[in-house]
Amino acid sequence: MDDTGTVIAFWALAVMTIGSSLGVALVRNVIHAVVFLVISFLGISGLYVTLSADFLAVAQMLIYVGAVSMLFLFAIVLTPRGSRDNGEGFMRLPALSLALLFGAVLVFVAVDTSWNISAREGFSETASAIGGALLDKYVLPFEVASVLLLAALVGAIVLVRPEAAEEEAEQV
């Protein structure tokens, strides 16, 4: 990871990701916060590319930038009254001090530990290796994940179904 292009890309993406995540914390309007969150997700997707994790970069793009941010926007639009404010509650100072302490501990551990670094180069392509692992070694977790997704799908539909639809269903 010594070539100049990768280094420049890493620093640019790291500044973009952290800056826009701070933007999520600082802006007052919750829709602007979602826009900053999307920029942060895009930055993380770029960081995956610098880690030669091509499949993860595309999955991040599709799932977070495409789907999850749309869910956030829909949730904001469906809760119109008094929900645009993105301010802090009474837990602001304890949350700030806990987050700073926790971040300092994580950074200290990251810098202080002598990691067992390997000399291997980046992956040439990862999608086929991930696909093979999912259907071979990790096939049971893979099936459990599909059941979880089905449960989440059915649960979300049942939760937000309007009451009129429920009464109609009871009458039939």
Query: Per CB under 8 A, which of residues 112..141 are in contact with other proteins?
Result: 115-118, 120, 122-123, 126, 129-130, 133-134, 138, 141
User: Nearest distance from residue 165's CB to other proteins, in Å?
Assistant: 13
Size of the site for other proteins (CB under 8 A): 87
Q: Quick one: 160 or 165, whose CB is closer to other proteins?
A: 160
Q: What is the SS3 assignment for 122?
A: coil
Residue type, 57: A
Residue 88 engages other proteins in binding (rule: CB under 8 A): yes
Angle at 110 between CA 105 and CA 114, to 5 degrees: 130
Nearer to other proteins, 122 or 168 (CB): 122
The radius of gyration of the chain's CA atoms, rounded to the nearest angstrom, is 21
Nearer to other proteins (CB atom), residue 84 or residue 168: 84
3 to 42, contacts with other proteins by CB under 8 A?
A: 6-7, 10, 14, 17-18, 21-22, 24-25, 30, 33-34, 37, 40-41
Task: Say how far residue 128 (Cα) sits from the centre of its chain.
Answer: 23
| Residues 51-70 contacting other proteins, CB under 8 A | 51-53, 55-56, 59-60, 63-64, 67-68
**Between 25 and 172, whose beta carbon lies closer to other proteins?**
25
Buried-state track 132-157, b at ≥16 Cβ within 10 A, e below 16: eeeeeeeeeeeeeeeeeeeeeeeeee
Q: Which residues are within 8 A (CB) of 9 and not within 5 positions of it... i.e. 6 or more apart?
A: 46, 49, 50
